[in-house]
Amino acid sequence: MKPFIYNIPVKVYFGEGQLSNLGRELSKYGKKVLLTYGGGSIKKIGLYDEVIKEIRDAGLEVFELSGIEPNPRIESVREGARICKEENIDVVLAVGGGSTIDASKFICAGAKVDFDPWDFLDLEKRAKIEDALPLLTILTLSATGSEMDNGGVISNLKTNEKLSNGSMCMLPKVSFLDPKNTYSVSEYQTACGSADILSHILEVYFTTENDLFMLDCVMEGLMKTVIKYAPIAMKDPTNYEARANLMWTSSWAINGFINGSKSTAWSCHPMEHELSAFYDITHGHGLAILTPRWMQYCLNDENIYKYVQFGVNVFGIDKNLSDREIAEKAIEKLSEFLFNDLKLQSTLKDVNINDENFAIMAKKACKGKESIKGFRELTPEDIENIYRMCL
Ligand code: NZQ
Ligand code: ZN
């Protein structure tokens, strides 16, 4: 096991009634607040009014950037950075899902530089993110974990690129996690968000590196939590216990804790980001389609033990079956969960994706490298094969 650093300094207010702390927390960073949000769901659920009241009661001045898109666009980031510079904004408050929070992270960084914020993401320029305005978040959708991690993903539809970058200076200072704010999330977005959470864990769990047994147990617990509670939240959207479990799992799935010393590259995420970049599909749905096929494609005699561990510990498959049977059953169970319990359509054709861009997407998924050095090394040819398995 290699040495590792654990450093997740995000202050989390979890549960109901915590918004009364918002004004005080914002005030620590200054007087001028840029409030960022998406297409209006926060107005429908009354959260917008509550937030505005807290900000005004604290004597702060509020500016707004609304309309941040799902799969947030670089144009929104540019606009936010422009407002921050022109109005001398002190602190950004993102209210929404991963898209609003991700865009806000790059707005915070973009506010500190004179160049185009796309340069932070562009694979050739890859400008260093060295400084950013402080960011606070109020999460309204359990999925990406952006509320507690330091990365973000931004799309440039003009160039069919969806790229990520991260920096400790973009980590939210404070995040407010009230499960009630997710009651209004649709059945479909709940399913997609849950598939995303599960994928964040699977990307780390499926590794060939030896690491802490303790972390494998934590990951198995997190996965069981998603499998237990996502169908409940879909059926009964105001079930507090289900929403609370999904919310806290979303944060812990990707905040760095479960990584330990592992450095294996993620596989399904870069493959999915190309689907979103070319076809603007919902991230979690793309992951759901890809993940079981990726698992099937990667399975071999050397790594089968991981599938067995997963099948037995997460899905309770009989450990007396042969390793091959357990592995196959584990993939089957995962597919059943994603496509039956979460009711997500199971093929790329279902989301109107055909094979015309597979070759270019497979190459781009390697992000300028020869291959993805993940659980199993994937060349562009392998990635194309996996895309084909999803048709
Ligand atoms: O825009 P509004 O009106 O708010 O509606 C949103 C949007 O249409 C809606 N929604 C959010 N909260 C709601 C709600 N509707 C009703 N009630 C609520 N309480 O849901 C839709 C999707 O929102 P979005 O923010 O796009 O979803 P999500 O949180 O899944 O974020 C997805 C984005 O995050 C990136 C994805 O690639 C994608 O661009 N990711 C970010 C990561 C990170 N920062 O670490 C990691 C992830 O792997 C992921 O790549
Ligand atoms: Zn994800």
Q: Which CATH number goes with the domain that contains 244?
A: 1.20.1090.10
> For 173-200, what is each residue's pLDDT tens digit?
999 999 999 999 999 999 999 999 999 9
Residue 26 lies in a domain: yes
- Token duo for residue 370: 């020869």
Give yes or no for residue 1 having a pLDDT over 90.
Answer: no
Centre of ligand 1 to C-alpha 82, Å, is 23
Q: Which atom of ligand 1 is nearest to the CA of 99?
A: 25
Q: Which atom of ligand 1 is nearest to the CA of 71?
A: 39
Q: Is 153 in the pocket of ligand 1 (CB under 6 A)?
A: yes
Q: Please provide the DSSP assignment of 251-262 as one string.
A: HHHHSSGGGTT-
| Atom 38 of ligand 1, nearest CA residue | 71
Q: Which of 66, 274, 283 to mutate to test the pocket of ligand 1 (most atoms within 8 A of CB)?
A: 283
Residue 3 lies in a domain: no
| Residue 210 and residue 173 share a domain | no
Residue 131 lies in a domain: yes
> For 333-367, what is each residue's pLDDT tens digit?
999 999 999 999 999 999 999 999 999 999 999 99
| Residue 165 and residue 307 share a domain | no
Instruction: Report which bound ligand comes closest to the CA of 195.
Output: 2
Q: Is 141 in the pocket of ligand 1 (CB under 6 A)?
A: yes
263: left (phi over 0), alpha (psi -120 to 50) or beta: alpha
From CA 61, how far away is CA 283, in angstroms rounded? 34
Question: How many domains does the chain contain in total?
Answer: 2
| Residue 346 and residue 307 share a domain | yes
From CA 245, how far away is CA 265, in angstroms rounded? 27
Q: Which atom of ligand 1 is nearest to the CA of 38?
A: 1
Residue 31 belongs to domain with CATH number: 3.40.50.1970
Last residue of some domain: 181, 203, 233?
181
| Atom 18 of ligand 1, nearest CA residue | 185
Measured torsion, CA atoms of residues 183, 193, 339, 305, in degrees rounded to the nearest 10: -130
Q: Is 277 in the pocket of ligand 1 (CB under 6 A)?
A: no
Angle between helix axes 74-87 and 98-110 (nearest 10 degrees) is 50
Q: Which of 66, 77, 153, 243 to mutate to test the pocket of ligand 1 (most atoms within 8 A of CB)?
A: 153
Instruction: Report which bound ligand comes closest to the CA of 162.
Output: 1
> For 80-132, what is each residue's pLDDT tens digit?
999 999 999 999 999 999 999 999 999 999 999 999 999 999 999 999 999 99
Percent of the chain with pLDDT strictly greater than 90: 99
Neighbours of ion ligand 2 (CB under 5 A): 196
pLDDT band at 210 (very low <50, low <70, confident <90, very high): confident
Q: Which of 35, 65, 99, 177 to mutate to test the pocket of ligand 1 (most atoms within 8 A of CB)?
A: 99
Residue 220 lies in a domain: yes
Give yes or no for residue 378 having a pLDDT over 90.
Answer: yes
| Residue 215 and residue 122 share a domain | no
Determine the structural domain holding residue 69 and report its residue range: 11-181
The answer to whether 127 and 113 have CB atoms below 8 angstroms apart is: yes
| Residue 55 and residue 191 share a domain | no
Q: Which atom of ligand 1 is nearest to the CA of 102?
A: 44
| Residue 306 and residue 289 share a domain | yes
Q: What is the pLDDT of residue 171?
A: 98
| Atom 28 of ligand 1, nearest CA residue | 98
Centre of ligand 1 to C-alpha 63, Å, is 22
| Residue 219 and residue 144 share a domain | no
Residue 359 lies in a domain: yes
Q: Is 137 in the pocket of ligand 1 (CB under 6 A)?
A: no
| Residue 271 and residue 195 share a domain | yes
pLDDT band at 371 (very low <50, low <70, confident <90, very high): very high
Residue 5 lies in a domain: no
| Atom 3 of ligand 1, nearest CA residue | 39
| Atom 22 of ligand 1, nearest CA residue | 70
| Residue 274 and residue 383 share a domain | yes
Cβ neighbours around 23 below 10 Å, total? 18
Last residue of some domain: 158, 181, 204?
181
From residue 281, give the alpha-carbon distance in Å to each of 53, 101, 153, 286, 363.
35, 18, 14, 7, 19
| Residue 192 and residue 157 share a domain | no
Centre of ligand 1 to C-alpha 349, Å, is 23
Q: Which atom of ligand 1 is nearest to the CA of 97?
A: 25
Last residue of some domain: 181, 198, 213?
181
Q: Is 189 in the pocket of ligand 1 (CB under 6 A)?
A: yes
Q: What is the pLDDT of residue 321?
A: 98
Q: Which atom of ligand 1 is nearest to the CA of 145?
A: 45
Residue 277 lies in a domain: yes
| Residue 220 and residue 251 share a domain | yes
Cβ neighbours around 340 below 10 Å, total? 11
The answer to whether the Cα torsion of 238, 291, 165, 79 is positive or negative is negative
Q: Is 287 in the pocket of ligand 1 (CB under 6 A)?
A: no
Q: Is 100 in the pocket of ligand 1 (CB under 6 A)?
A: yes
Average pLDDT over the chain reads 97
| Atom 21 of ligand 1, nearest CA residue | 70
Q: What is the pLDDT of residue 120?
A: 98
| Residue 343 and residue 197 share a domain | yes
Q: What is the pLDDT of residue 208?
A: 87
Q: What is the pLDDT of residue 28?
A: 98
